[in-house]
Amino acid sequence: MELAELIDEPFIDFPPGWGMRWAVDHAFRAAGLRRRITVQMNDLSTILDLVRLGLGVAFVPTSLATDSADLRFLRVRNDAPTYEIALAAAERPLGAVARRFLQTALPNGHHLAPRADHDLA
């Protein structure tokens, strides 16, 4: 599916300032396209429920595409929205929950980059 095929659809989206919203807005602007956002919601579960009710379409992280068998997920072929997520961790031993979170968030043996020392003056 191409972004241009979606311009007539009503969108359910995150509020401005959210990473996913920024990525989608940027992708549409870069493609010279406009879209109609009918609902803004800050909860992904509710966004998916509104899609289930037929109130619109939504961009969601790829990781969700296998979690909701009752929804149809389509991949955008060109100009797909993308964004990066950065994690920060203190330079001290992490607790069990923080270690598990990092193991989940950084799969395949990825590690946090070493701290960069910068003069802030």
Would you say residue 115 lies in a domain?
A: no
Would you say residue 74 lies in a domain?
A: no
* pLDDT, tens digit (0-9, with 9 covering 90-100), for 3-28: 899 999 999 999 998 988 999 999 99
Would you say residue 21 lies in a domain?
A: yes
Q: What is the DSSP letter of 105?
A: H
Would you say residue 38 lies in a domain?
A: yes
Between these two residues, 119 and 96, which has the higher pLDDT value?
A: 96
Burial (CB count <10 Å: 0-12, 13-18, 19+), residue 47: buried
DSSP per-residue codes, 19-70: HHHHHHHHHHHHTT---EEEEE-S-HHHHHHHHHTTS-B----GGGGGT-TT
Q: Which residues form the domain of 22? A: 3-66
In the chain, how many domains are there? 1
Would you say residue 32 lies in a domain?
A: yes
Would you say residue 19 lies in a domain?
A: yes
51: CATH: 3.40.190.10
The alpha carbon of residue 21 and the mean position of all alpha carbons in its chain are separated, in whole angstroms, by 7
Would you say residue 71 lies in a domain?
A: no
* pLDDT, tens digit (0-9, with 9 covering 90-100), for 67-118: 677 888 888 877 778 777 677 777 788 888 988 887 777 766 566 555 555 4
